[in-house]
Structure 1
Amino acid sequence: MGYTELKIRIKPYTAETAEILIAQLAELGFESFMENEPELLAYINTATLKKLPANFIGLIELPEGVRIDYELNSIADKNWNEVWESNFEPIIVDNRCLVKASFHTDTPKTDYEILIDPKMSFGTGHHQTTHMMIEALLNHQVEGLTVLDMGCGTGVLAILAEMRGAQNVVAIDNDEWAYRNTLENIDNNGCKRITAYLGDAELLKGRSFDLILANINLNILLADMAAYVNSLKSGGSIFMSGILRDDVETLRNAAERLGLSFSEVNYRDNWAMVAFRK
Structure 2
Amino acid sequence: FESLANFIITIVVLVSLRMASKRADEKFPYGYGKVEFLASGVVNMLLMMVAIVYIFVSFGEMVMVGPEKPPGLIAIVAAGVSIIVNYIAFGYGRCVGEKVGSSAILANAQINLADIGTSVAVIVAVIGSNLGLSQLDHIAAIVICILIIKVTLDGVKKAVKGLMDASLHYEERHIRDLIEDIEDNGRVGDIRVRLAGRRLLVDMDIFLPPGSILSKGLETVGKIKKVLQRKRKDISEVSVQLLALPVTDVPRAKNRS
Q: Considering only CA atoms, is the larger Rg found in Structure 1 or Structure 2?
A: 2
TM-score by length of 1: 0.24
User: Which of the pair has the greater relative contact order for Cα pairs under 8 Å at 6+ separation?
Assistant: 2
- Bigger proportion of residues as strand: 1
TM-score by length of 2: 0.26
